[in-house]
Amino acid sequence: MRRQLSTAAIVIALAATATACNSDGVDAKPDSNASAAQSQAPKDPAPGADKGGDKGADKGGQGGDLAVGGTAKVKAKNGAEISVTLKNWTDPAKSNNKYMMPKPGKRWVAAQFEIVNNGQAVYDDSPANGVKVLDDQGQAFTHSIGESTAGPNMPATVKLKTGEKALGYVIVSVPENGKPKVVTFTPDSGFAKETGQWAVGK
């Protein structure tokens, strides 16, 4: 009898554990990695925080939101040291292909990045995968397939040696009435420890 009770207790304990593992509340936000994005959610910079240039990048690019035109210095996981500049921000961004348009209820925004390898290690990445747009609700959106009239897209993959650079737009689909607030860039398709952050809210 005791053995049956013990077995029943173990079964109940295992069921409870399984339930806990599956009750993580899948985030309904558009980005499947939204929980990671939330950890990078922008905080209002302190009064007098730098709004341009590459200050704050000395702290992994997270010393405060940069302005459009500002440069963040961040490192990839292999030690590659890169300077990332948000050269331009287009909202809304118009498609240059009538057969490839934002879905109903959505609009495109486009962030133009310039990436320069300042270190000795080769920077090898798919930059668009590391871009996120966060709105005033904290929702995170990742890049979309498409090209805008703003200009050529960032190459799908880059492999930059010391001194080499890449330039291009990353397209992101956001809700039609959404209010983008911040754009972030994280090397290694978003898995590096350092992130550059720019304010784009109106």
User: Using one digit for the tens of pLDDT, what is the confidence trace for 165-174?
Assistant: 999 999 999 9
Q: Are 46 and 65 in contact (CB under 8 A)?
A: no
Under the phi-then-psi rule, with left for phi > 0, alpha for psi from -120 to 50, and beta for the rest, what region is 69? left
Q: Are 87 and 130 in contact (CB under 8 A)?
A: no
Q: Are 107 and 174 in contact (CB under 8 A)?
A: yes
SS3 of 34, please?
helix
User: Where is average pLDDT lowest: 8-12, 81-85, 109-113?
Assistant: 8-12
| E strands present in 99-175 | 106-117, 123-125, 131-135, 140-142, 158-160, 165-175
Q: For residue range 31-68, what is the model confidence (pLDDT) as tens digits? A: 433 333 333 333 333 333 333 333 333 333 444 689 99
Confidence bin at 94 (pLDDT 50/70/90): very high
- Closest by alpha carbon to 114, among 154, 79, 74? 154
Confidence bin at 201 (pLDDT 50/70/90): confident
pLDDT given at position 112? 98
Q: Is pTM beyond 0.75 here? A: no
